[in-house]
Amino acid sequence: MITKTIEITEISVNELTDIIAEKLFNKLKMYLADYKSSEEDVFLSPKETAEFLKISRGTLWRWTKNKKINCYGMGGRRYYNKKELVELLSDNILRH
């Protein structure tokens, strides 16, 4: 078995953290840009939306009630546009 060792010298922990965070942020921006451009208009149920956003259904309802995200009604049911959700996530990430 081959073992590799990486030695980092003359860099502080904060500098290393900043470098890693910047690289991760740039990768995430590229991923979201690719995802947004290829995404069709797909509508998700509340359960699917909560799973997609990794939040509880209670949080989803609160966000909908407070108009943080859009909800569409069809036949007495609620649906969420996946493309809009991705754009919302992307906008929030880019603001921070």
**pTM of the model as a whole:** 0.57
Task: Answer whether 50's CB lies under 8 Å from 60's CB.
Answer: yes
Main-chain dihedrals φ then ψ at residue 39, nearest 5 degrees: -80, 130
Residue 10 pLDDT: 84
- At 26-74, the pLDDT tens digits run 888 887 777 666 556 789 999 999 999 999 999 999 999 999 999 999 8
**pLDDT: which is higher, 81 or 37:** 81
**DSSP codes joined into one string, 36-48:** HHH----EE-HHH
Residue 81 pLDDT: 93
For the chain, the first-to-last Cα distance in angstroms comes to 42
Residue 80 pLDDT: 95
